[in-house]
Amino acid sequence: MIHKFTADKIYTSIGPALSDHVIVTDEKGKILAIDALSDHDASSVQILEGMICAGFVNTHCHLELSHMKGKVDTGTGLLPFLKKVVGFRDIDQDTILQAIQDGDEEMYKNGIVAVGDISNKTDTAITKNRSKLDYYSFIEMFDFLQPTMTAATIAQYQEVMAGQSDANFNRKSYVPHSPYTVSPDLFSFVNEHNQVGQTISIHNQETPAEDELFQKGTGGFKDFYDGFGFSLDHFVPSGRTSIHYAVQHLKPKFKTIFVHNTLTSREDVLAAKTWNDQVFWASCPNANLYIENRMPDYAVFLDTDAKVTLGTDSLTSNWQLSIWEEVKTIRKYASYVPLETLIQWATINGAQALGYHDRLGSVEVGKTPGLVHVGNNGEVNRLI
């Protein structure tokens, strides 16, 4: 069966928005043609108000934490937030698994087609094996900068890697959690156990205390580690922001997604781009507001022609799992970012970051991107 769709605007993600055009697909959503509306009998076309674009790509999610929705207070800052998350124990496994399934279904309903998902456990594997979404599972490792913990950390996460989903188009790789939680030896493991062209994800510059630790060796993270009995006596600050520690220890042979980037400067972006021409910057504005009540300076990324992607983070730090809601938040607080640019961030940039751009991310003949309709009322609906 052939389907035909048009709307006030069609955002292709690879060129200017189209008006008075028709997208022709087969029954599976593969795009067969993009034609002028005048070339088709209007009665054969589904005519919609608003816009059509490719399905959204969520480059940063923690699906396994979906059961913690509403359990952590907003606006506390990252360190109190982390303490609260770590403190939760003895959650019923059936509750966890149901919340994971519900989160997957919520993302599908909200027009998301692919997800970069942080995995510290294998809890999400069952859902990912049968999901309608494509998942790139990031097996996230951390040893809290403690060399004595590195070997045990590696053994723990090798089991997670073996148990995570690689069904259908799903992919997976080892990734470091953040500069402030990963030792040089653990970075070496990540470098050695991923292949050229795989994608790496790492949390980056989410709170002032992170940069302070690397610049001065002081601040909230030192106290945070002391509270868990971890010594940082061996840690030598570099005098530079935390991202420099990450690029020093990661090899530039991977696509690399820096996540959050709330405090990332122009100099940081340029340093990362000099290090690796396959760098992406995942922004999760609603999570940034939820935790730190601040957002990145998006002008920094526009001015440096950086490749930005969008993520939702987890339901621990967000009110919903919707990339369109992330777009709306940026439009509200940083209205200087053009909508066409935001659509690119939400679609093709994310697809490129996860390596799914051959099928997803743009409205192009031959792709099956999961067309999404956003009505003038802001409601998101999947078309096919």
**Claim to verify: residue 233 and residue 328 sit in the same structural domain:** yes
- CA pair distance 149, 48, nearest whole angstrom: 56
233: Cβ contacts below 8 Å, ≥ 6 apart: none
**Claim to verify: residue 170 and residue 296 sit in the same structural domain:** yes
Q: According to the model, what pLDDT value does residue 89 have?
A: 66
**Pick from 82-96, 188-202, 246-260, 297-311: least confident:** 82-96
Query: Where in the sequence is the domain holding 232, given as residue range(s)?
Result: 55-361
**Claim to verify: residue 48 and residue 62 sit in the same structural domain:** no
H helix or E strand, kind and range, residue 327: helix 323-333
Give the pLDDT confidence of 322-345 residue by residue, as tens digits.
999 999 999 999 999 999 999 999
H helix or E strand, kind and range, residue 330: helix 323-333
| Structural domains in the chain (count) | 2
CB 350 within 8 A of CB 107: no
Question: Angle CA(152)–CA(153)–CA(158) in degrees, nearest 5?
Answer: 100
**Claim to verify: residue 39 and residue 65 sit in the same structural domain:** no
- CA pair distance 353, 357, nearest whole angstrom: 8
Q: Is residue 197 scored above 80 in pLDDT?
A: yes
Q: According to the model, what pLDDT value does residue 84 have?
A: 83
**Claim to verify: residue 23 and residue 112 sit in the same structural domain:** no
- CA pair distance 322, 308, nearest whole angstrom: 17
**Claim to verify: residue 109 and residue 223 sit in the same structural domain:** yes
Q: Is residue 86 scored above 80 in pLDDT?
A: no
Global pTM value: 0.97
**Claim to verify: residue 234 and residue 256 sit in the same structural domain:** yes
At 5, the amino acid letter reads: F
**Claim to verify: residue 333 and residue 229 sit in the same structural domain:** yes
Task: List the CATH number of the domain containing 202.
Answer: 3.20.20.140
CB atoms within 10 A of CB 167: 11
Q: Give the sheet arrangement for strand 3-11, strand by strand.
A: 31-36, 21-25, 3-11, 46-53, 372-374, 380-382
**Claim to verify: residue 298 and residue 187 sit in the same structural domain:** yes
First-residue to last-residue Cα distance in the chain: 12
In a domain, residue 270? The reply is: yes
Whole-number average pLDDT of the chain: 96
In a domain, residue 369? The reply is: no
Question: Angle CA(63)–CA(64)–CA(69) in degrees, nearest 5?
Answer: 75
CB 209 within 8 A of CB 272: no
Q: How many residues does the chain have?
A: 384
